[in-house]
Amino acid sequence: MKFLREHRLLITTVTPIHIGCGEDYTPTDYVIDENTLFAVDSVAVADGLPQVAHKKLREMLKGTVRDDALKQIQKLFYEQRESLMAKATHYLPVAKGVAHLYEDRIGSVAQRQENGNNVINKLEIERTLYNPISQRPIIPGSSLKGAIRTALLDLINEGRPARLNETNHKLQERLFEYQMGKLEKDPMRLINLADTKEVGGHTKTSEIRFAINRFRRASVQGNRTKAEDKGLYQLLETIPELTLRAYESRLTIQDISQLNQRDTDKLPKAELRWTIQDIACACNQFYLPQLQKELEIVANYVTSDWKSRMCKLIDEVIVPLKESNKGMLLRVGRHSGAEAVTLNGVRNIKNESQPRTFWLAAEEQNASSKMVPFGWLLIEIDPTDDLHSMLEEFTRQSSEADRRWLKSQQDRVKAIQARLRQQEQDEKEKVRRQEQARLAKEKEEQERQAHLASMTEEQRAVEELKSWTEEDRAKQELKPQGRVPCRLNELLNKATDWPIESRVALCDLAENIYRELGMLKGKQGKDRKARIQKLRE
């Protein structure tokens, strides 16, 4: 007897999907360069920042980190972005408009409040749910199960309105015939969906886009939503659209038909125990009309090419899957729209049966076209290879673009890493040479001091004057009125009683100094020559 019926699910994303996890990318967690976000953690910052930048960062982090310090940190990370890019934990593409926003506002003040306080551009990007080990997005089983639950509730409700003052919880209890205190009778407890795992090694697992609010009826010229008027938008990490068989999950249904009938009062009713075919049928019946209607609504916001591809996908893939119950269409995540989370007949959005606005994924903050809706995905049930080639046709263009993007970024990061390694090696070699030079100079000075110690007082005086001459020459301070000629004159006066060897050494040095300074010309020059010659005798 088999109590569990397990089905393999393969998931292809149709439009961008964002499932919030309560975490953000902040500008101290990433840098953006050339339309790519490079995520960094504390290890990457510690390993990536040069020593001078590390010192600056430590100074900024002293005491309470205020907004001005955050601005400085943002600016520092942007200036040192190549060093951080080389140590990034992962990287992902960003919409051009997001990259421009980052470049324009990083480390700056977004606006000034009436009280004079600055509002800092924190530029947070809401992360989609992800695997903490791989940092790659996942779709939780709970999101899939929630979408299925809504479709099954709608199937039972058959478009009837809710009863007077009936809450959502009470509505579900009535339709599924259970009570909150007796959840064992909730039919959804017999259905389990595992969190998704990635399959196929897709190149681009997420991307950053704007979420912008627009009227569903775009024909009303000049009208703007409240969000548009206030310049409101969201920055979201999304699972990209048209990613072929990006995820795998398992749907398990408990078969309780063979259990002891004495326990039926603790089990969902027989008519509320669904097969995988029942589930697929309910989901397609609920979600497919919504997608078809949405394609009509978004016509003025999307490209004609995108819409035609979606219509072709529906006709050639989704409808055949619906007819065979070998697949199902779902809508999950943020901005799925009120229709996807409420029942037909029950829906009430501020006393209207349909919402007036919706949120769309966009490349630009003020986009008027090239937008797409959020949340649509296609699930194959116990898939075969028959459908793969058909789906591949629809996803080929985006897959090839993803591969080109990944290859370019991998090559770029490798080039940066190689350049930084070379810089590090050059710096080490420079330090090594400087240390060698220091040690050589130190040794030379020790030898000079030892040599001086073995000299007579007269020899040391001549040697000191030589050192002065070399120092001033190096500094371009060797001048007729400088310390060297003055000291030379003092020594010439004293040298009359010196031993002959010291006098000759001083005279040779005097001739060289005077000649270099042009002081052997004219009458004074003749007097200096005569003085030197007399000292030689």
pLDDT at position 351 is 44
Question: Residue 262: pLDDT band by 50, 70, 90 thresholds?
Answer: low
pLDDT at 81 over 70: yes
Sign of CA dihedral 192, 194, 199, 203: positive
Place of tokens 């002293």: 62
Token representation of residue 2: 């088999």
**Residue 112's beta-bridge partner residues?**
118
Token representation of residue 325: 């119950």
More confident residue, 340 or 16: 16
0.75 surpassed by pTM: yes
* 325-383 residue pLDDT tens: 899 999 999 998 888 888 887 866 444 556 788 899 999 988 888 999 999 999 999 98
**Residue 211's beta-bridge partner residues?**
234, 361
pLDDT at 261 over 70: no
Sign of CA dihedral 354, 357, 359, 360: positive
pLDDT at position 366 is 87
pLDDT at position 66 is 64
89: Cβ contacts below 8 Å, ≥ 6 apart: 39, 40, 41, 44, 135
Structural domain boundaries in the chain: 1-22+139-204+213-225+238-254+272-383, 27-123, 386-454, 455-536
d(CA 420, CA 430): 15
Sign of CA dihedral 510, 515, 516, 519: positive
Q: Is 233 exposed, middle or buried (0-12, 13-18, 19+ CB in 10 A)?
A: buried
* DSSP β-ladder status, 243-254 and 197-198: antiparallel
d(CA 274, CA 171): 20
pLDDT at position 424 is 87
pLDDT at position 114 is 45
pLDDT at 229 over 50: yes
Place of tokens 């590090």: 424
d(CA 387, CA 384): 7
pLDDT at 112 over 60: no
pLDDT at 398 over 70: yes
Question: Residue 218: pLDDT band by 50, 70, 90 thresholds?
Answer: low
pLDDT at position 122 is 58
pLDDT at 11 over 50: yes
Q: What is the mean pLDDT of the chain?
A: 86
83: Cβ contacts below 8 Å, ≥ 6 apart: 48, 49, 50, 53, 420
416: Cβ contacts below 8 Å, ≥ 6 apart: 82, 85, 86
The DSSP symbol for 129 reads P
pLDDT at position 116 is 46
d(CA 363, CA 191): 38
pLDDT at 307 over 60: yes
d(CA 34, CA 312): 34
Distance of alpha carbon 241 from the chain centroid: 19
Closest CA to 409 of 36, 25, 89: 36
Which residue type, as a one-letter code, is found at position 488? L
Closest CA to 10 of 234, 337, 471, 330: 330
Place of tokens 């994303």: 13
* 464-523 residue pLDDT tens: 889 898 998 999 988 989 998 899 889 888 888 899 998 888 888 888 988 988 998 889
More confident residue, 217 or 59: 59
3-state class (DSSP) for residue 423: helix
* DSSP β-ladder status, 207-215 and 357-362: antiparallel
3-state class (DSSP) for residue 29: coil
More confident residue, 257 or 24: 24
pLDDT at position 117 is 46
Compute the average pLDDT of residues 174-196. 87
pLDDT at position 449 is 85
The DSSP symbol for 163 reads P
Token representation of residue 204: 């681009």
233: Cβ contacts below 8 Å, ≥ 6 apart: 210, 211, 212, 213, 227, 365
Place of tokens 């004219």: 522
Question: Residue 264: pLDDT band by 50, 70, 90 thresholds?
Answer: low
436: Cβ contacts below 8 Å, ≥ 6 apart: none
d(CA 529, CA 537): 13
Specify whether the CB–CB gap between 353 and 343 falls below 8 A: no
pLDDT at position 337 is 82
Compute the average pLDDT of residues 401-411. 86
pLDDT at 458 over 80: yes
